[in-house]
Amino acid sequence: MRRRHDVKPDISTVTGAEAFVLPMAQPRPLTDAAGVRASFGEAFTSTMAVATWDEFGGWSGLSFSERRPLMIDPAMVSLHYGQAVFEGLKAHRQSDGQLALFRPDAHAARMRQSARRLSMPEPPVDLFISAVSGVAAIDSEWLPADESVSLYLRPVLLATEPSLALRPSRSYLFMVIAFVTGGYFHDDPTPITVKVESTLVRAAPGGTGAAKYAGNYAPTYLAQIAAGRDGCDQDVWQDAIERRQDEQLGGMNIFFVHGTAGSATISTPPLSGTILPGITRDALIELARGLGHEVIEQPMDVSRWREESVSGSITETFACGTAAAVTPVGTVVASDGTWSIGDGRPGPVTLTLRSELRKAWLGLAGDRDRWIHVARAPATASRP
């Protein structure tokens, strides 16, 4: 009698390896010949950077090649146990025509922190900067001479060992790809509508909320879809314990403006371990203080947000992030009602900070040029 595991499976319906090849997005410009613009994250460029790590040899050298599919084992750790972290940063065309990245060192440091939280090897800062700088330089011709358009770099670190043992992988892939993009929501400061999420939770104390961890994002889709059905652009996440303190938007930090003009005070929720430490958030705090504003990191209760918006004490609210830049919030939808921020239009503090951030991107912010890193092609790299 043959045992069940001795019976060979019928593979006659499999026509070959090509049956399992997944589709790959082809490099293409932001706007096609018909004038149709690609959505955020779709206009990929042609280059990728790759380095590997294993427990025996450590980090390999960095290589650049034409963007291509990955050959992976179906038992790869990141597919099953989610050991994957990433970053997102931008390169902008400068007034002299060069392409420069915004604060790549800060993004490198944050990726190292994320990797540490997920028990992954931390990419060396020089490896990270060489990778993003090289891809940006090689693909610089993809970026038009348009200040509203940028090159978005996506570094990612994946666990690659084929093992289903419940432990950290013993091998990893670090890679960088890129795409061309305009604004995440709009190219202009059109206010967005946000919905306060009162049921689901993004992150809990002691969890991974402060890491740029892939597993933080898919669980937010359900709330984002629900917000979209209610006519909202984004959802606002509250704390996991009391469900009343605003923490951040789906992938963005949030700021509140108290008062008007030069005397306005700005507040933002503190980095409690459940909030992503945004690089743009950090830059805006410095820019706002440089303009003379007092910036306070303090919790914001959703009921207080509503009361002070209605009374006029909170005059502006804006979201920020690498993709979103500085985006004004015009309307808030909650389970117990809807309210507007100010008159629903972009406020002067928001617009000023948006302008100052753009200057910083373009290297026009004086001593803050230290935030700018001119993209340099590696000596051994050639255009694919």
pLDDT tens readout for residues 153-185: 999 999 999 999 999 999 999 999 999 999 999
Q: Tell which wins on pLDDT, 381 or 258.
A: 258
Token digits for 358?
């753009």
Q: What is the pLDDT of residue 16?
A: 53
Residue 266's nearest CA partner among 357, 331, 350, 195 is 350
Token digits for 50?
């790759």
Q: With pLDDT > 70 as the criterion, what percentage of the chain qualifies?
A: 93
In the chain, the domains with their CATH numbers are 8-181 (3.30.470.10), 192-365 (3.20.10.10)
Residue 237's nearest CA partner among 214, 212, 216 is 216
> CA 261, CA 364: separation in Å to the nearest integer?
23
Q: Residue 117 pLDDT > 70, yes or no?
A: yes
| Residue 237: other Cβ atoms inside 10 A | 24
Average pLDDT value for residue range 294-307: 97
> CA 268, CA 275: separation in Å to the nearest integer?
11
| Residue 105: other Cβ atoms inside 10 A | 16
Average pLDDT value for residue range 268-273: 96
Inter-residue contact 309 to 302 (CB < 8 Å): no
Q: What is the pLDDT of residue 220?
A: 96
Q: Residue 131 pLDDT > 50, yes or no?
A: yes
Question: pTM of the predicted model, to two decimals?
Answer: 0.93
